[in-house]
Structure 1
Amino acid sequence: MDTPQNTALTRALTELPGPLPARGVIHIVIPHTDRFTVVGNHLAQHSGLSTTAVGLAVRIQSLPQGTEIGIKALAARLSEGEKLIAAALRELEAHGYLRRARTRLTNGRVVTRTVFCNQPTALLRPRIGAARPQRPPAPPQAPALPDVHQEQAPEAPDVQQQAPEAPAPQDHTPFVARVPPPTAPRQPPPPLPQPRELTAELDRAATALLSDLRRHAHQLVLSENDIRHLTPAVAAWLERDTHPDTIRHTLTNDLPQPLRHPAKLLKHRLTVLLPPPLPGADDLAAPARPRIAVTPFQTCDGCERAFRAPTPGHCRDCRNTRSPAQAAAA
């Protein structure tokens, strides 16, 4: 059985045009005539999606209209668990491939439907209907997909089958893409931290720490130019009394695989994760309570009653009962 397969493979390789690469993948492209799905490279090579999310998107795109793609329905059909499927669906929703739309049916019931778009960036392009020729009316579309999180009740298929006879009101909520277009302006990166004063001691300690990172993570091999560029940022951390082991752990922990730009990653971490300066002893002291002036007690010269007053004298009652002549004489 191996000989015919090897012969067919060898014959297919000889029919490929041009010289074959010395290494790497070699594609033998046989055109499909039936049972195929067109998948764009923007999805197949998406750098922001996991392999599970890309594979789940291809599976959803290949399913016929109206197929249930809820979490439980997909978990019953695939080998992945519900948690992994739910995480992949959230990734697709975050990048615009999935969209949830709430629609009220004719019987008053509100359902959440899920729409899969095979090319979400195309929805951002302007559409000019006047310049396009008139097209014949499109046939009634099949019912939309059910919710990916809220499972439909047993009577949901009957409701969807009646949708063409009594069309439900469409949800006209405008689609807001969560992925910015390639032409969107980018915010400038924050500046690299700088110490108040780059002393010779700080410069030597920061340079040594950066040069020693490759002993703890072999991916962090920096050039001399990169070390000179990142030294002030490390000096700013040391100036804020950050222990060198803390800086080393922050720069080497949980590195992405593969790491293509070590200097850019270190610059990002040194800038975003910069700790605040340590507070001084005065900052940690409890705030002093405000002093409240208390009016002292006095003994009335007439009735010897105690009352509050800044100076000795008579109380209020004695002052009111005394005659004007007595008050003047006093």
Structure 2
Amino acid sequence: MKIQKTILRRTFLIAAFILAGCGGKEATPDPQAVLTAAAETANAKMTELAMATPIPTDTPVPTATASPTPTETVLPPTTVAPTTLPAGSTVAERVEFVADVTIPDGTVFAPNQAFTKTWRLKNAGTTTWTTAYSLIFFSGEKMGAPSAVPLPNDVPPNATVDISVPMISPASPGQYIGYYMLRNPQGKNFGLGPNADQAFYVWINVAATGTVLASATPTGPTPTPGTPTPGTPGVTLTPTNTAAPAAVSNPTISVNTASYTGSCPYTFVFPIQFTVNQATAVTFRLEGGSGTPGVNLVLPADRTENLQPGIYSNQFELTITSSMSGWARLRILAPLDLSSPVVNFELTCQ
């Protein structure tokens, strides 16, 4: 509206100047005619201006289009392949017993009979056993075996090897167990179990002189636990559906001389024996007492052995300096509390 009034004023002024210029001094303009002409000129100018000026239209506000949020590319986590050890392994050098290739546990021999014991062992560690490794005698009854036997070939992890050792059965009847381990080139011994600190063994029985109950190199498959072969020497059939035996059972003790008369001091020897039904650590001791006032026994220290299934044999010694009578027994302290029957002995010093 303000624009229209401005245009109207300018139009009147222009018209007035034009009329004044055209008429000269001799003509006197008619005021009414001037106003009419000015009005017509203003209307025409406004019409021209209206046509020249576009009428604004309502421009729709553009709808805001959300810019797509860039999708974050999630990379899959990097998978690091774990270092896989053989099942149950916790150390680099460890043995797993596979089979008795020859001489099953409890095989019976005559005295002084030669035989060859062969174990099949598995490398359950992560280090290859080379021919610089050896099987070594560890403890128990050596039975004429060499102190060390080199491995016959390299044995990588998870592979097996058969190791043979020549032996001779002892001269006296009885039960005998020899314990063995492997030794690396640095002189470190290792064997069975999670910590590779348990020995494997050979276990035989020696019968009376002249009785031969076993072949020195028996053939055929080795009976596996729970499926013994009837008639195999030293193998006892286990009835099914029975309660599992205790870890240790049947402790026994004897004395070399129940009554001795002679010079003192004198050393009594007490052979002991018990059955190990599953691999375990066994703690045991010799217990005893004196029936003679003023005489006390000095008993040996407790012993602990890591043992494999079989019959374990050993002995205690007791040196006495004066006449007395006494008793002794074998006491198992762990993994359970178990005692043998008592044996009596008597010493008369001269």
Q: TM-score range by the shorter chain?
A: under 0.3
Higher relative contact order (CA 8 A, sep 6+): 2
Structure-2-length-normalised TM-score: 0.21
Structure-1-length-normalised TM-score: 0.22
The structure with more strand, counted as a fraction of residues: 2
